[in-house]
Amino acid sequence: MNIYDYMLTNGIDDDGSEIERFLKDVKSFISRYKGYFTVMSVVSNKRFLPDLESFRINNKMINKNKADSRTERLMDLNESDVNGCIKCELNKTRKNIVFGEGDPESRLMFIGEAPGAEEDNTGRPFVGRAGRLLTKIIESIDMKREDVYIANIIKCRPPENRNPLKDEIAACAPFLREQITIIKPKIICTLGKFSTEFIIGTDKGTISAVRGKEFDYNGITVIPTYHPSYLLRNQSAKRQAWEDMKKIRNLCSKI
């Protein structure tokens, strides 16, 4: 139905002012519900009312498109920038680059320090003993591994699982920062000393001093906790890590 048919049907006089008022009402309606409707405004120089049912956009489709867009951006980052990277010496000893994985729309992102042997073999983050513990930790707060996003500061395994060096962290830092920018998590859980210092700085204290506390990273809430590999060696620290995760669960429930 076009505007003129509508006016005839509803008894609106075509004196100019009525048309102008009617158009303002239509524009106000469209502006208010623009998140749900797609409107074509001009066809053959005639204005018309949109078919509301035909142009209704399903919310699930909107969310899917957002997720697809973030997935594509992550894939592009991986393929065009990270894949084949030779910015540091780790490229000479790695088997696979470990980019990261998970839900690109996730509210919660876990950041570790570096891949280990099994991660290097598979190209996936946190799949060894520490990774299996991390999966259990995620499940303990009523989430699944596929509900979160998991990444490391550096994308290649340091030889013999040694600590990452400053130049290696500096080389990989732009990749992780871009991942965070794309994913836009509400909460970041840093795992261990190196990822915590990378995100919140080196002046806040040891991991034991900062774990469970809230920090800010560009508007994102950051809660540090122990690295799963540390928990495997220090069973007594699991209770503290559990307290940290309960805090994260509570925060997630409010988002």
Rounded to two decimals, the pTM is: 0.74
Whole-angstrom distance, CA of residue 185 vs CA of residue 106: 6
H helices present in 11-147, as ranges:
17-32, 59-77, 117-122, 129-140
Percent helix, strand, coil in the chain, to 5, is: 50, 10, 35
Q: Could you give the percent of the chain with pLDDT greater than 70?
A: 74
Q: Is the pLDDT of residue 246 over 70?
A: yes
Whole-angstrom distance, CA of residue 196 vs CA of residue 214: 12
Question: 34-75 pLDDT, tens per residue?
Answer: 454 443 333 334 443 444 444 344 544 545 555 679 999 999
H helices present in 51-154, as ranges:
59-77, 117-122, 129-140
Whole-angstrom distance, CA of residue 251 vs CA of residue 248: 5
Q: Is the pLDDT of residue 219 over 50?
A: yes
